[in-house]
């Protein structure tokens, strides 16, 4: 495990403890039977009943367990041992059949056996990956012939914007194109609970990837792209002046141009 991975694991271990009780994740509602999945992935991935599903970067498993509630046979994978421990306890508490594995994606083929009908990942995953070629190869490795890879994610263009500027205007601050060397950040809070300060800032490392990086990595791994969709809303207050609508999505206020804030992608492993 390199220094970047160790640092990011430390951050996500700290966040797992905070997120368990956050309003953002609403674990109380989830335990009462609500699904944590959003309307986009439910509509686009469709019926998963009876299918085997591998969830990459699953955090503490709410989406994984939501797919289990919809009838999938699920396996969740995450780098954070704290998150995986919480995911396992939730599965036991809610009597949901799920397997959770603590592993780095790049080392997953050595730590998990089996092939899956679906590989799934969502919302805020790409920034923590330094090598999309190896990521895509792992996805292809675990898919059955004819299997589906589906993701819904923060749009790379929106990641270039200055998320610290309070004034309602769009300003580019970060690069769009990938560099092997990550950007370093010192996290003082979590995106889910900005009012809770860490004891001390936690240094973490993130990478930028263009949309073409994602698509080409999957194609090079042998997958066939079925669709690519873009959306003008997102799942959290990515910019301080965003407004949350009645449907729960966050959007830019009126007067600003509509830009892509999310994208979704479906790919198939040829039979």
Residue pLDDT tens, the chain, 271 long: 799 999 999 999 999 999 999 999 999 999 999 999 999 999 999 999 999 999 999 999 999 999 999 999 999 999 999 999 999 999 999 999 999 999 999 999 999 999 999 999 999 999 999 999 999 999 999 999 999 999 999 999 999 999 888 899 999 999 999 999 999 999 999 999 988 899 899 999 999 999 999 999 999 999 999 999 999 999 999 999 999 999 999 999 999 999 999 999 999 999 9
Q: What are the chain's domains?
A: 3-268 (3.40.50.150)
Q: How many other CB atoms sit within 10 Å of the CB of residue 18? A: 16
127 and 206 in contact (C-beta within 8 Å)? yes
The partner residues of 101 in beta bridges, in order of sequence, read: 77
Q: How many other CB atoms sit within 10 Å of the CB of residue 22? A: 16
For the chain, the helix, strand and coil percentages under 3-state DSSP, each to the nearest 5: 30, 25, 45
pLDDT at 195: 87
- Sole residue written with tokens 């997953």: 108
pLDDT at 156: 98
Half-sphere exposure of 232 (CA within 13 A, CB side): 10
83 and 59 in contact (C-beta within 8 Å)? yes
DSSP state of 57: S
Note the helical H segments in the chain: 3-19, 27-31, 39-45, 62-69, 81-94, 132-142, 211-220
């Amino acid at each position: 495990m390199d220094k970047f991975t160790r640092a990011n694991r430390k951050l996500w271990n700290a966040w797992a403890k905070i997120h368990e009780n956050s309003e953002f994740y609403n674990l109380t509602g989830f335990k009462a039977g609500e699904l944590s999945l959003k309307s986009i992935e439910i509509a686009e991935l469709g019926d998963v009943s009876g299918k085997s599903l591998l969830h990459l970067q699953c955090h503490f498993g709410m989406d994984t367990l939501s797919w289990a509630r919809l009838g999938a046979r699920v396996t969740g994978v995450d780098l954070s041992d704290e998150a995986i421990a919480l995911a396992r306890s939730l599965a036991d508490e809610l009597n949901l059949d799920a397997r959770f594995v603590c592993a780095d994606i790049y080392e997953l083929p050595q730590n998990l056996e089996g092939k899956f009908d679906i590989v799934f990942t969502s919302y805020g995953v790409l920034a923590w990956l330094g090598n999309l070629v190896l990521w895509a190869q792992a996805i292809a490795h675990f898919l059955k012939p004819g299997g589906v890879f589906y993701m819904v994610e923060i749009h790379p263009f929106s990641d270039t914007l200055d998320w610290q500027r309070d004034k309602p205007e769009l300003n580019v601050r970060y690069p769009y194109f990938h560099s092997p060397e990550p950007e370093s950040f010192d996290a003082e809070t979590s995106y889910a609970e900005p009012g809770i300060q860490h004891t001390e800032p936690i240094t973490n490392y993130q990478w930028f990837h263009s949309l073409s990086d994602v698509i080409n990595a999957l194609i090079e791994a042998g997958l066939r792209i079925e669709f690519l969709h873009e959306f003008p809303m997102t799942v959290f207050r990515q910019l301080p002046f965003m407004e949350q609508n009645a449907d729960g999505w966050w959007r830019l206020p009126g007067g600003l141009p509509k830009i892509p804030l999310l994208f979704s992608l479906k790919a198939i492993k040829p039979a």
